[in-house]
Amino acid sequence: MNLSFILSAIPGGDPLVYAQAVSHWDSLAKPLGSLGGLESAVAKIAALGGSPDVRLDRRGLYVFCADNGVVAQGVSQSDSSVTEAVARALGERRSTVNYMTAGLRCPVIPVDVGMACAAAPAGVLDRRVRTGTDDITLGPAMDRADCLAAIETGFDLARSAAKEGCDLLLSGEMGIGNTTTSAAVLSVLLDRPPETLTGRGAGLSDAGLLRKNNAIRQAIRRNRPDPADPIDVLTKVGGLDLAALCGFYLGAAYSRCPVLLDGLITCAAALCAVRVCPKVRDALLASHCSAEPAAALALEELDLAPLLSAGLRLGEGSGAAAVLPLLDMALRVYHSGNTFDAIGIEAYRHLS
């Protein structure tokens, strides 16, 4: 993987096409900008693809599954057996997000990039880089070669999906302990203390939350990740799911394919990708703002506005799935032909 070449080839969105899409929205018989962020999202997709004719007929949700050695520090209610159980349910199409995507023409593709179980469950794509990460309180999560391999895995999956005609990618994750690694990554990249970023994940007690904060502080102190090098941060205090998601966003941007973020973990990975290449931001859409404390800060740093606010904190790409009907609704309006001229009324004008 020639990362330097890839980064130089990521195009970014076309502002002229963005303006064309906005102009089309303004021609429709409704108050200007009245669909808010949905109008902006469609225009952003148009700019990325280089055409105001936006279609999202083919899409896929990739759920990256991996385990994190830091669970040994009691930072989660659950252990790695739950990662395997949920991944198995995803492969059998009976996890929560499988039901959420039913009828949305959006297959769910779970991917094992670093689970701790003996083998990827049936129905889960096996792209395992290594079997889980090490405990970040004792040393780096992985070595840089493994981190780069996970990034390449995500990149290749996004690029392959785009080559096969995918119009929209959705991203999700499953990995016990990954709210800890995400908070650690964001603590470094945002230069903020863990206490301002760390939430209770799937439901920690006060004592558990204290252990989680202590683990993050110890991991950063021991490993001293370089905030100017996002790959170093992922290597030392991140996880294989985060690294693969980072690569997935690089691959989506490289392929001019828009991608929907989910919650905290995907936002942390997206910030890594944007720090590696700022043009990646043009490919990203924020589905919602997770209830985890760090999520809003990550979205603010990414300069992304969420399309939905419902206090979601499930993971698995559930937030991304939840906004698909909203995007489909917006596109029905966008392609309706219901212009001011068509219905014989005077068009609204921008007055300021």
Question: Global pTM?
Answer: 0.96
Of 84, 92, 316, 346, catalytic: 316
What CA dihedral angle connects 74, 80, 83 and 88, to 10 degrees?
-150
Is 48 inside a domain boundary?
no
Is 213 inside a domain boundary?
yes
Taking the C-alpha atoms of residue 233 and residue 141, their distance in angstroms, rounded to an integer, is 10
pLDDT mean by block of 10 residues, the chain; 352 residues = 86 97 97 96 98 98 98 90 97 97 96 98 98 98 98 98 98 96 97 86 73 95 98 98 98 98 97 98 96 91 95 92 97 95 86 71
- Smallest Cα–Cα separation from 85: which of 323, 316, 317, 339? 316
Is 126 inside a domain boundary?
yes
Q: How far is CA 132 from CA 4, 146, 175, 233, 340, in A?
A: 27, 11, 10, 17, 57
Q: Which domain holds residue 244?
A: 59-326
- Which pLDDT does position 227 carry in this prediction? 98
- Which pLDDT does position 295 carry in this prediction? 92
Contact 197, 187 (CB under 8 A): yes
- Which pLDDT does position 109 carry in this prediction? 98
Handedness of CA 183, 186, 188, 194 (dihedral sign): negative
**Count of CB atoms within 10 A of residue 235's CB?**
24
In 3-state terms, the chain is what percent helix, strand and coil (to 5)? 50, 10, 40
Is 304 inside a domain boundary?
yes
Is 336 inside a domain boundary?
no
The CATH number for 308's domain is 3.40.50.10210
- Which pLDDT does position 325 carry in this prediction? 97
Q: Are strands 168-174 and 259-261 parallel, antiparallel or unpaired?
A: parallel
Domain count across the chain: 1
- From its phi and psi, is residue 142 left (phi > 0), alpha (psi between -120 and 50) or beta? beta
Residue entry with tokens 């023409």: 105
- Which pLDDT does position 97 carry in this prediction? 98
Q: Is residue 39 flagged as an active site residue?
A: no
Is 182 inside a domain boundary?
yes
Is 7 inside a domain boundary?
no
Is 253 inside a domain boundary?
yes
- Which pLDDT does position 292 carry in this prediction? 83
CA atoms in the 13 A half-sphere facing the CB of 82: 12
